[in-house]
Amino acid sequence: MIQINNIGKWYGNFQVLDGCTTRVRKGEVVVVCGPSGSGKSTLIKTVNALEPIQQGDIVIDGIAISDRKTRLPRLRAQVGMVFQHFELFPHLNVTENLTLAQVKVLGRDTGEARERGLRMLDRVGLLAHKDKFPGQLSGGQQQRVAIARALAMDPIVMLFDEPTSALDPEMVGEVLDVMVQLADEGMTMMCVTHEMGFAKRVSDRVIFMDQGKIVEDCPTTDFFGES
């Protein structure tokens, strides 16, 4: 479903991604880990073209990103992304946050977008908060809304960039629970995370990065050994 072929990216003379090659199959959950600054966040952001690359290519569902530049918003709908900081629109309530991109990017009518958004909100267990503003929600709740917002776009894959790192410890579990549920439902996922419990229990494969290179890419059971 996603092919990442020998990608390279530089900031000036500094090479942040160095010959990264991997693929993610439909329904697979891949965890990307490695030291801070090794390029994990940059790597997954290349998949929805938030980070342009200078070498190699990325193919999603048979189409190279470089061949579809004019349709970036559509690509970003197909490739849902959840960030460390929830990035909800603070001046829009939860329902409006869930609806806006569906209308603007997918051209859905407001009623349909609202219905789909609320269905996703229910899925993450927050329907009761539909009229609140982001500032009235906890960090964990905001992150679950951000996940619902991405899901409302009918993505074929979900990218997570340290989705629990900015949360108070007591809220990590509720976000991981939603991610586990998505994995169980067969969502294709690429997750940068330090949550090794999640990696071990939920992921199919682990990619380990160091200094811009993928230095390990193996089934989760191999990565964690026999125990």
Maximum C-alpha span of the chain: 52
Residues 12-31: x where in contact with ligand ADP by CB under 6 A, - otherwise, as a string: ----x---------------
Task: Determine the size of the site formed for ligand ADP (CB under 6 A).
Answer: 12
Give the nearest distance from C-beta 194 to ligand ADP in angstroms.
10
The CB-of-16 to ligand ADP minimum distance in angstroms stands at 4
Interatomic CA distance for residues 185 and 195, integer angstroms: 20
Choice from 11, 13, 111, 226 touching ligand ADP (CB under 6 A): 11
As beta bridge partners, residue 55 has 8
Beta carbon nearer to ligand ADP, 42 or 97? 42
Distance CA 200, CA 192 (A): 13
What residue spans of the chain are helical by DSSP H? Answer: 40-47, 72-78, 94-106, 110-123, 139-151, 169-184, 196-202, 220-223
**8 A C-beta contact, residue 217 and residue 22:** yes
36 binds ligand ADP (CB under 6 A): yes
Based on the shown chain and the rule CB under 6 A, indicate whether residue 37 belongs to the binding site for ligand ADP. Answer: yes
Task: Give the span between the Cα atoms of 129 and 119, in whole angstroms.
Answer: 13
Q: Is 97 in the site for ligand ADP (CB under 6 A)?
A: no
Adjacent-strand bridge partners of 215: none
Q: How many residues in the chain?
A: 227
Window contacting ligand ADP (CB under 6 A); options: 38-46, 98-106, 135-143, 144-152:
38-46
Interaction mask 59-88, ligand ADP, x per CB under 6 A: -------------------------x----
The residue sitting closest to ligand ADP, measured at its beta carbon, is 41
Chain residues that interact with ligand ADP, rule: CB under 6 A: 11, 16, 34, 36-42, 84, 161
